[in-house]
Every structure is written in structure tokens, then in C-alpha cells.
Structure 1
């Protein structure tokens, strides 16, 4: 872990770091946690996952499951003239098979997901719980304009229809979390042991992840948290 990390966040319940300044920090989860990183296409999920999936001193690096990897593998064996829409169901089935196998295999796991599908989170939570593991959610709230800029920068674009569907689902979920933090009541994602809300600035400051117990740095307390 980088020596530049000065603080640690150990999320439980809902932890909101949007608009919270401070130093770079690490995020600590229990052994074997399944951590789903969610947000709009272009929000920076892949960048965050690459940063978090590197080797960890004295620990096993987390595995990462990204649907893009399966998409590209399927694309490589299909005729170039065949539209992705034709074999999308097969690619999705392969992604779910890989995801289920990765959860069953054990060890820390990072999952790239849009986050707008409650059934997906519930399924992952059940699969993890059967093996004594927790599901945790990281939700990137960067706004549609920033996400579209991110798509342009990476040279890969979600269709307007897909982007609109994800945007609608995520905006509803983020609004529900904002209400939860303001008024209390049940979490909008009760299947997750924790939900970490990050904006563009706090996403950039989340420099590392670690799994298991033990000190990482000074505890970071300037966050809004709900049960």
C-alpha cells in the first residue's frame, strides 16, 4: 500500500464522502468481502478498480470481475460482421458464470457493475452469504456530464438508450440514499453490509483497498454515516 495514504475508511452502513475534503485514504473491508463498484458508464469504475486491484503488501491481491473482459473475449471468437447484440445473451450468461465461480472460489473480490439493478445486488449478496462473506457497495456519484466526458476520454461509448437506463436507475438509488441519510429508516440497499458514496474528488482520493483486520492509518472520521 502506498506510503502516501494517511487515513482509512472502514465502511459500515451508509458512509457518504461526497463533498468531504481531506487526505488520500484507503478503504478497509473484512476478509473475503465482495465489493461491487458501481456508477454510470464513464464514471471512473474501471480506473478505480485498476488502482485497487494491484498487489498488496503481505496480502493476496483481490480478484476483479468486469463484464467488459467477457465482452471482449466473446468478441474475439465471433465473426467481425456479427453485431454484438446477436450474442449479447451468451456474453451475459458467461459473465454470470464467471461471477458465480469467483464468489464461490473465495478470497477478496472486486466487481464492476452499473449498480442500478437491485436484483443483481440481491443475488450477489445471497451467493456471498452462503459462503460466510459480506457484500459491500461503492457508488460513484459524478453526474451525467462528467460520465459522458469519461466515455469520450476512453474512446468507448454506451448507447444513448443504455446510458439513459442506467442514469435513471442510479439517480433513483442516489436520491434514496440521500433521503435515508437525512431522515433515517431502512437502507435502500439492505443486502449490502456497507455503502460508500463517492464523488469525483473522493474517488480520486480513494487510493487503496485492503481486506482483513489490522491498522492501515489514522481513522477517518469526517463522514456522514447512517445505519
Structure 2
């Protein structure tokens, strides 16, 4: 039993806790036993291209925080509207409802995980202002896996984004990454931290926790 307990202790010590501040670039890291520690009132935006693995990461973390996903809002709207009505017709209403839901939940308690590509500067500013108005810190985890990997992810899940929309997101995220690499935290104004993950770390599903105290 002593040897077994020692092995468990070594496994526990191997997990590295990181309390993100500023830009935390984990791309290229080979030590994959990482746990991101956030305060309990944090809003964490999971960003990346469509197909980059945002939903997979959100599912892995959903036991720790409430998830706000625009697809849930879309499904709720679809359930109340005629099936023949195209989504394009009520997309603006669905998006507005989703933003209102985010703002309402920010005014409550408990950690929040927000599913968003992160490619739209105006939406990043809105999220940062809304979180600040609610007295919450806002963080971002950005999946930088590349366009081809993201397209492969779309094909695997059999849910394809139009080339025009994908290109728009790709340009927006490229501009965000360029700003972060040139200006550091100022490249993502209003965010307490931006954690950059690559494909390797995404596939190992780094852990996350929300705590009242500092990371141990």
C-alpha cells in the first residue's frame, strides 16, 4: 500500500497548477499535466476557430462551471418557431437573446464558461465591459490549432461552417493572435488573462478549477 500511495502522491505532484495572469503561452509544452486555476467569480471565454475543439473542452470543464453556448439559445428559438422558418431570418434575435442571457448570468454568482470564437473585436469588448460591470474578472482560453486542423474537426463532427464565415473567423483570430504576440495582454483589452493552447494540449484536455483561494 505504501508504494501505491507513493505513486498517487507523485501523480498529484506532477500536476502543475497555473493561475493565469496576462498572456500564458502553453503552445509547444510537452508537460501536459496542467490545471488552470481561476477565481470562483471568473468568466472564462473558450475561443478558437469552428472545429478547433471548443465544445470538447467545454464538456470536460462543464462539471466545474455553468456553460453558456449560443447553440443552446438557437435550439430554444427553433423549438418555439415554425420549422420552415430559416435560421437566417431570426439569427439577430437569437444572438441578442444569447447576449442578454450572458449579461444576466454574469450578474448572478458562480463561475461561467462562455463558448465563443473570439474573432469579433466588438464582442470581446462587450464581454469585457459586461464582466467588469458585474464585478467579475474575464479570462480567455484560445485554441490555436490552425485552419486545417479546425476544418478536419468540422468534418469529423459533420457540422460544416460556410467558407465565407470560416474565413471571417480566421481573419479575426489571426488579428487577435498578432495583437497578443506584438502587444502582450494589451492585445486582448479587458481580459485578465489569455491562455494559448495548441493541438497537443487540447487533446490532453487540461483540467480547470474555480476556487476561492490561491492555486496550490
Q: Which of residues 91, 96, 100 is equivalent to 2:94?
A: 91
Q: TM-score normalized by structure 1?
A: 0.84
Q: State the Cα deviation string for residues 137-163 of structure 1 (Å, max 9, x = none).
A: 111100011101111111111111111
Does structure 1 residue 197 correspond to structure 2 residue 196? Answer: yes
Q: 1:52 aligns with which of 37, 44, 61?
A: 61
* CA–CA separation in structure 2 for the residues paired with 1:6 and 1:108: 22
In the alignment, does 2:160 pair up with 1:151?
no
User: Matched residues in 2 for 1:154 and 1:96: separation?
Assistant: 26
Distance 1:147 1:207 in 2: 19
Larger Rg: 2
Among residues 11, 17, 21, which one is paired with 2:26 in the alignment?
17
Unaligned runs of 5+ in 1: 55-60, 218-227
Return the alpha-carbon distance in structure 2 between the equivalents of residues 25 and 173 of structure 1. 24
Deviation of 1:4 after TM superposition, in Å, equals 9.9
> Using the alignment, how far apart are the partners of 1:52 and 1:158 within structure 2?
24
TM-score for both structures, normalised by structure 2: 0.88
Q: 2:175 aligns with which of 149, 172, 176?
A: 172
Conservation of the 8 A alpha-carbon contact between 1:52 and 1:207: no
The runs of 5 or more residues in structure 2 that have no matched partner are 1-10
Query: Residue 43 of structure 2 corresponds to which residue in structure 1?
Result: 34
Helix, strand or coil for the counterpart of 1:105?
Answer: coil
Aligned twin of 1:8? 17
Pair 1:187-2:196 in alignment:
no
The 1:126–1:86 alpha-carbon spacing in structure 2 relative to 1, beyond 3 Å, is same
Give the Cα–Cα distance (whole angstroms) in 1 for the partners of residues 116 and 182 of structure 2: 23
**Is the CA contact (8 Å cut-off) linking 1:7 and 1:216 kept in structure 2?**
no
Distance verdict in 2 for CA 1:3–1:215, change over 3 Å: farther
User: C-alpha displacement at 1:177, in angstroms?
Assistant: 1.8
Structure with the bigger percentage of helix: 2
Q: Which stretches of structure 1, 4 residues or more, deviate above 6 A after TM superposition?
A: 2-5
- Post-superposition offset of 1:179: 2.4
Judge which range, 138-147 or 23-32, deviates more: 23-32
CA distance in structure 1 between the partners assigned to 2:201 and 2:54 by the alignment: 13
| 1:215–1:32 distance in 2 versus 1, CA, 3 Å | closer
SS class of match (2:35) = strand
The offset of 1:208, in angstroms, is 1.8
Q: Deviations over 1:67-99 (max 9, x none)?
A: 011111212222222111011111111111111
Q: Which moved more, 1:123-132 or 1:2-11?
A: 2-11
CA drift of 1:212 comes to 1.8
- Which residue number corresponds to residue 117 of structure 1? 120
Deviation at 1:213, TM superposition (A): 4.3
How far 1:203 sits from its partner (Å)? 1.8
